[in-house]
Amino acid sequence: VAVEAAGVRRGERVLDVACGTGNAALAAASRGASVSGLDAAERLIGVARERARAAGIEAEWRVGDAGGLPFPDDSFDVAVSVFGVIFAPAPARAAAELERVVRPGGRIVVTAWIDRGPLAEVMHASRAAATRHLPASPATGDHLDWSDPQAVAGLFTRSTLEVEERSHPFTAASPRAWVDEQFAHHPAWRGMAAALPAPAAAELTDELVEILAAANEDRAGLRVLGPYALYRAVVRS
């Protein structure tokens, strides 16, 4: 969706910031773009590199920080960040970096979750359990509500910005299968599962299953929608 919204064309230079395992970069490459992917997690960059190799795609992969991109000014026609740059601890610096590395007239697409709906409720319930049972973790970075178009417009000072709301379907064999999957593999829930007392972890699991079951659109499995903001910026100068 992000690559489509950015209108990526054959031969364009595309940067995927906080690329994880390279989903957007690989989608851009499949449109004939020349792609670079950057992520803070070395292991995920390793997975991205392996995926590209297996697909016969040539791409540049870098371990790095969205707040200090290791590329010269105007290096790219397009930058995308799919639920990625929203995690950078200094949002203003990360947005300025996107504008710096994209040439004037180039496009930037960023997606950000909207704090509404069943997935947001799942996050709130998880945070509440952490607050009840675990020591407070120190605040990291500046807070910015990336789902607030005005706040985001304040970051992209050199661009013209448009926003639209979309939604992403989360699916699984059942609500419980989705929750079990997060506790087994998602870094945040995996960490919580290890740190919470066992009864609290079981209680939280049941609470999350209940939230998802109440919003479930698929009787045979799980399908819930997560709303998100899709920003498209065109760099002016």
Ligand X SMILES: C[S@@+](CC[C@H](N)C(=O)[O-])C[C@H]1O[C@@H](n2cnc3c(N)ncnc32)[C@H](O)[C@@H]1O
The identity of residue 82, as a single letter, is: V
CB of 15 to ligand X, least distance (A): 12
CB of 84 to ligand X, least distance (A): 4
Angle at 191 between CA 81 and CA 223, to 5 degrees: 60
Residue closest to ligand X (Cβ): 20
Q: Which is nearer to ligand X, 44 or 201 (CB)?
A: 44
Whether the CA torsion 65, 68, 73, 77 is positive or negative: it is positive
Q: Which is nearer to ligand X, 65 or 121 (CB)?
A: 65
CA distance 66 to 86: 10
Phi then psi dihedrals of residue 172, to 5 deg = -165, 175
CB of 237 to ligand X, least distance (A): 25
Whether the CA torsion 158, 68, 22, 151 is positive or negative: it is negative
Site residues (CB under 6 A) for ligand X? Answer: 18-20, 23, 39-41, 44, 65-67, 82-84, 87-88
Whether the CA torsion 27, 40, 228, 156 is positive or negative: it is negative
CB of 44 to ligand X, least distance (A): 5
Q: Which is nearer to ligand X, 18 or 209 (CB)?
A: 18
Q: Which is nearer to ligand X, 98 or 233 (CB)?
A: 98
